[in-house]
Amino acid sequence: MASHIVGGLRKASDAVQQTISKDKKVIDLQHDMVNINSKLPMTADHGVKVENTDQWLRVVDDKHTGPSLLEDQLAREKITRFDHERIPERVVHARGTGAFGNFKLHKSIADLSYAGILTDTSRNTPVFVRFSTVQGSRGSADTVRDVRGFAVKFYTDEGNWDIVGNNIPVFFIQDAIKFPDFVHAVKPEPHNEVPQGQTAHNNFWDFVYLHPEATHMVMWAMSDRAIPRSFRMMQGFGVNTFTLINKAGKCHFVKFHFIPQLGVHSLVWDEALKINGQDPDFHRKDLMDAIDNKAYPKWDFAIQVIPEEKQDAFEFDVLDATKIWPEDLVPLQVIGQLELNRNVDEFFPQTEQVAFCTSHIVPGIDFSDDPLLQGRNFSYFDTQISRLGVNWEELPINRPVCPVLNHNRDGKSRHRITQGAVNYWPNRFEACPPTSATGEAGGFQSFPAMVGGQKRRALSEKFGDHFTQPQLFYNSLSEHEKLHVRKALSFELDHCDDPTVYTRFAGHRLAEIDLALAQAVAEVVGAPVPERATSTNPGKKAPRLSQTEFVPSTPSIASRRIAILIGDGFDAVAFNGLRAAILAARAQPIVIGTKRSRIYADGEKAYVAAGVGIVPDHQLYGVRSTLFDATFIPGGSHIKTLSQDGQVRHWVAETFGHLKALGASGDATGLVKESLAAAPGLQIASSGPIEWYGVVTIGGIQKPENFKETVDIVSGAKDF
């Protein structure tokens, strides 16, 4: 992985640089920035210059031995500050990474909302986005099978608006009161703190069996959505139902969507497992590298809207977070674009201290009675107090770009100094009045909804339909996606050792969704195989639930990582030609050598003194094929060396097995042929002839004799 450079501001392209230099949040953050490279002398926290930070003050004899003095205030400060560096990690979504960018509205929706950010197309609203996994702790790996958080903070002119979403459009539970149970069940088990970064354990599968409402999200979590190739290549969903309020006081239900312009792409499970060990920072580096390389990720921002009077018009309850609004029933309207274009300057004060709240909405946007959202509106503000202290909204990353003034005061780590003699309303100076007192426009007004009824712990009847939508999701997947779901379920339930858990889920719950799926999983995990479906699946499908439907309008390899394998004696013409083509397509050529010392092309030795040849980015044993999107091997006399190296053969077979493009020229075609012929995982039954899927060679290549024409491109990874 090419090393990234922090401080993306320096590296931004001209157009983006111009936008960034006017960005209100960038200007705001500069008040709090210092530069460690400024060559200014070191000081203690109270400002006194430090003379020595290497030796503790001691009473020493003539051999310089003797006790250390507690009196050394500088040493004590250094140790004390270090002792207190850690803050509690997020109780969920602890592992994450963030970046800055902006939001541009293309189409005003003034007919639906009076929010400035949703009506003023001339604005460039600064944003901070944090992506995360849910289950693992701060140090867990990036490519685990998990839901990804997709939290967006819009620094709008009217205050901060947070969409705290995920890359899956539904949630495990319907009522926020279940959240502690759910999180306890998904997290490492209490007696032994195992497992880390996975749902593959008894407690999770026990919980989801006992909560049929979780079935829909479980199906998504077992699909390829839960192992994204990149944060840049996944959808974002607000999940909960919010409302939009227009000037006329009309209310519409709304769901928010972010659709990646690069398309939706995933790893295969074998890759994800391997990358966990090979590069646990794979996703965060991918995002930073893309931004440093000016391949700024972009998402279309879209809404789905249901008028208030149509609330009861669907077979699902529009307030149920375990249900999607199928796009054939409620179409998506694209109204804006989100772009990320600047890496953080420092992780802790920005990515770690950023704090989102679903309750942070701006005038023109309001909540709904979605029972999950209502509880979230309490939980987020509360958790920030435990993580960051009550004054968390004063932290630079969290403070709005519009003026903030009120009578909230004091508390731990109060930073702001408010001048004036009063801290209450009303006051004799009429200082800091709410807009209701002045008649000024723009104060947040809750939508005057009619409410009434009994006080009861109850949800509407439609919340009780738990299987229609998981069936809809599963039916809508392509064959290879279904296969991946089956394998994911088989993997996860295999990690449950309590027969009650895997037997009930595989043998009973899955039979509510799809009998063939239930039978296949039950057999493989050792559960009694169900003979009949426990619910009828009418076979209904909905558009754009399969991620294969998210193909970018202009297919591109921009920002993709392409490995070029070389040793001494590579063919310089093929190498240079392909590298130039990769660069022209704005992808990243990454040269992998037999060593990271200078490597020479065929016939190049004579020029050693002139310093030609190439110093590879990595040596063969420092990285693995899994970290690249494609591989090219140029021909040349280096093939003699490469073909004797098991690592190279494994690289080729693994690339093919993971369904990645594989290119070879000249003598390298023979190496590819031999490596694939020897790979056991390629002979798998399939629906049709695929042949050499994804293999491009120059100079001809023969199929190995034992190679089956019917390689299943999807499960090529089977034995890897």
Residues known to be catalytic: 93, 166
Judge whether 602 and 569 are in contact, CB under 8 Å. yes
Kindly state the smallest distance separating residue 332's Cβ from ligand HDD, in Å. 18
380 lies in the site for ligand HDD, by CB under 6 A = yes
Judge whether 435 and 442 are in contact, CB under 8 Å. yes
Of the candidate residues 356, 575, 600, 632, the single one contacting ligand HDD (CB under 6 A): 356
Q: What are phi and psi of 156, to 5 degrees?
A: -90, 165
Residue that is written with structure tokens 């018009």 in the block = 313
Query: Do you find a cis peptide bond into 195, omega within 30 degrees of 0?
Result: yes
537 lies in the site for ligand HDD, by CB under 6 A = no
355 lies in the site for ligand HDD, by CB under 6 A = yes
Helices 202-210, 179-186: crossing angle, 10 deg rounding? 150
Alpha helices in 50-178 (DSSP H): 73-83
The site string for ligand HDD over 321-350 (x = CB under 6 A, - otherwise) reads x-----------------------------
Kindly state the smallest distance separating residue 356's Cβ from ligand HDD, in Å. 5
176 lies in the site for ligand HDD, by CB under 6 A = yes
Measured from each CB, the residue nearest to ligand HDD is 149
Window contacting ligand HDD (CB under 6 A); options: 165-173, 338-346, 428-436, 515-523 = 165-173
Residues numbered 129 to 148 that lie near ligand HDD (CB under 6 A) are: 130, 132
228 lies in the site for ligand HDD, by CB under 6 A = no
166 lies in the site for ligand HDD, by CB under 6 A = yes
Q: Is 289 left (phi over 0), alpha (psi -120 to 50) or beta?
A: alpha
Kindly state the smallest distance separating residue 488's Cβ from ligand HDD, in Å. 21
Return the amino acid letter for 711. Answer: V
Instruction: Provide the strand spans (E) within 34-77.
Output: none
Residue 380 assigned as binding residue: yes
The site string for ligand HDD over 91-130 (x = CB under 6 A, - otherwise) reads xxx--x---------------------------------x
Judge whether 341 and 102 are in contact, CB under 8 Å. yes
Return the amino acid letter for 159. Answer: G
Judge whether 475 and 541 are in contact, CB under 8 Å. yes
Of the candidate residues 171, 207, 231, 502, the single one contacting ligand HDD (CB under 6 A): 171
153 lies in the site for ligand HDD, by CB under 6 A = no
Window contacting ligand HDD (CB under 6 A); options: 373-381, 549-557, 595-603, 658-666 = 373-381
Instruction: Name the residue nearer to ligand HDD (CB basis): 152 or 525.
Output: 152
Q: What is the separation of C-alpha 655 from the centre of its chain, rounded to a whole number of angstroms? A: 24
Kindly state the smallest distance separating residue 155's Cβ from ligand HDD, in Å. 16
Judge whether 77 and 212 are in contact, CB under 8 Å. no
Furthest-apart CA pair in the chain: how many Å? 94
240 lies in the site for ligand HDD, by CB under 6 A = yes
383 lies in the site for ligand HDD, by CB under 6 A = yes
Kindly state the smallest distance separating residue 223's Cβ from ligand HDD, in Å. 17
Window contacting ligand HDD (CB under 6 A); options: 105-113, 251-259, 368-376, 539-547 = 368-376
Class of residue 180 by CB neighbours under 10 A (exposed 0-12, middle 13-18, buried 19+): exposed
149 lies in the site for ligand HDD, by CB under 6 A = yes
Instruction: Name the residue nearer to ligand HDD (CB basis): 11 or 376.
Output: 376
Q: How many residues bind ligand HDD (CB under 6 A)?
A: 26
Cα distances from 190 to residues 212, 607, 631, 704, in angstroms, run 23, 64, 44, 52
239 lies in the site for ligand HDD, by CB under 6 A = yes
Residues numbered 65 to 94 that lie near ligand HDD (CB under 6 A) are: 90-93
d(CA 386, CA 701): 63
179 lies in the site for ligand HDD, by CB under 6 A = yes
Instruction: Name the residue nearer to ligand HDD (CB basis): 90 or 649.
Output: 90
Kindly state the smallest distance separating residue 318's Cβ from ligand HDD, in Å. 14
3-state secondary structure at position 256: strand
Kindly state the smallest distance separating residue 322's Cβ from ligand HDD, in Å. 9
The number of C-alpha atoms within 13 Å of 582 and in the hemisphere containing its C-beta is 22
Cα distances from 702 to residues 643, 649, 669, in angstroms, run 17, 17, 9
Kindly state the smallest distance separating residue 677's Cβ from ligand HDD, in Å. 46
Closest CA to 460 of 329, 359, 314: 314
Cα distances from 612 to residues 65, 309, 485, 599, 676, in angstroms, run 56, 73, 50, 9, 33
Instruction: Name the residue nearer to ligand HDD (CB basis): 239 or 648.
Output: 239
> How does strand 695-698 pair with strand 661-665?
parallel
Alpha helices in 62-140 (DSSP H): 73-83
3-state secondary structure at position 452: coil
Window contacting ligand HDD (CB under 6 A); options: 159-167, 219-227, 399-407, 654-662 = 159-167
Interacting residue ranges for ligand HDD, rule: CB under 6 A: 90-93, 96, 130, 132, 149, 151, 164-166, 171, 176, 179, 239-240, 321, 355-356, 372, 375-376, 379-380, 383
**Binding site per annotation, positions for heme:** 380
**Binding site per annotation, positions:** 380
